[in-house]
Amino acid sequence: MNVIIDAFGGDNAPDALIQGLVWALETREDFNVILIGEETLLNSKLNKYKYDNKRIKIVNAREIITNNESPVEAIRIKKDSSIVVGLKLLNTSSDSDVFVSAGSTGAVLAGAVLLLKRLEGVSRPALAPVLPTVNGSSAILIDCGANSECKPEMLLQFGKMGSAYAKAIFGIKNPRLALLSNGVEAKKGTELIREAHKLFQVDENINFCGNVEARDILCGNYEVIVADGFSGNIALKACEGTALMMFSLIKKGIEKGGIRAKFGYLLLKPVLKKIKHTLDYNNQGGAVLLGLKKLVIKAHGSCEADAFKATILQAVSLNELKVTERISLELTGFSV
């Protein structure tokens, strides 16, 4: 199989990406890579590494879409950008199933929606990152920003796609699913959420456990949390911001706390480092866009080499787990 990679996506591309790629190639031998970007530059960067050059093919793309551009417009205009070239190749290639990019989230989403085919029964694809939870398990939050405006039926589809994804990546049979709302009662929430709640309640193919408040997203009681893309994005980023704030407060406190605090920090460092590692959702790989015939993985824009390595290996593994096929079966009612 081939993983198609946007070599110019993210703040640290292409250097950190190439380092991560070489590490990923060293870790597993059963995949090849198509690297999309400015060929001469990529070749000169790759020349610094030792790797099996039969495993990397470069496809030239001379443009880059930045975060400051209107995503839809950029996809339409920049035909020679790494995102557009990569997605078009993914759409037509018979031996490539995954595209990885750390570039503009809006452009990756817009490009995927415009250039790739949807699975049967899917009205809109959804972005589904995997979050760490307090008890060490993981939870899928779907949708996290692909669809700001949703309909109840879309949320039900997100739930089914999330369930199939949870079954595949967590290896469980009956993932617990909850609907993000501002209260656990069925009457709570916007009209969208209340209508979606009713659809979930009568669907026998999913293990619906009711509404969940944002306070309990990370509690570990649910494997799938369904949200409209706007609320899911708010929830995800509020969690991220709070975790960053706490680390910043700890750092400031240690700096101001004199020798006592500094010595305490040295002793407690392994514990704090482990927590940072747990909470850093880069370590869980990128967020996968579910609902298309091919997989698209959006890595965090500030990805470092190790996160790129993790995301590339995630791409190989998701392909192996036949995530797309499983979602397709779930949506047509033939799930295993």
215 binds its own copies (CB under 8 A): yes
Quick check: 130 binds its own copies (CB under 8 A)?
no
Phi, psi of 259 (to 5 degrees): -65, -40
Nearer Cβ to its own copies (148/332): 148
User: Does residue 41 touch its own copies according to CB under 8 A?
Assistant: no
Q: Which is nearer to its own copies, 271 or 336 (CB)?
A: 271
Cα 202 from Cα 204, distance rounded (Å):
6
| 198 belongs to the binding site for its own copies (CB under 8 A) | no
Furthest CA-CA distance within the chain: 62
Do residues 178 and 212 touch, judged by C-beta distance below 8 A? yes
CB of 235 to its own copies, least distance (A): 5
Q: Which of residues 71-110 bind its own copies (CB under 8 A)?
A: 106
Q: Candidates 144-152, 171-179, 303-311, 320-328 — which segment interacts with its own copies by CB under 8 A?
A: 144-152
- 130-132/138-142 β-pairing: antiparallel
How many whole angstroms from its chain centre is CA 307? 12
Q: Which is nearer to its own copies, 85 or 236 (CB)?
A: 236
Q: Residues with Cβ < 8 Å from 159, sequence gap 6 or more?
A: 142, 177, 179, 200, 203, 206, 208, 224, 226
Asked if 311 is part of the footprint of its own copies (rule: CB under 8 A), the reply reads no
Tokens 């939050």 belong to 141
Q: Are 1 and 31 in contact (CB under 8 A)?
A: yes
Task: Dig out the tokens for 102 from the structure.
Answer: 């750390």
**Amino acid present at 131:** L
Q: How far apart are CA 60 and CA 38, in angstroms?
A: 5
| Touching its own copies, residues 247-286 (CB under 8 A) | 248-250, 253-254, 257, 260-261, 263-272, 274-275, 278-279
Please identify, among the stretches 3-11, 28-36, 52-60, 245-253, the one whose residues bind its own copies according to the rule CB under 8 A: 245-253
Q: Does 153 bind its own copies (CB under 8 A)?
A: no
Residues that bind its own copies (CB under 8 A): 70, 106, 133-134, 145, 148-149, 180, 182-183, 187-191, 193, 213-219, 229-231, 233-246, 248-250, 253-254, 257, 260-261, 263-272, 274-275, 278-279
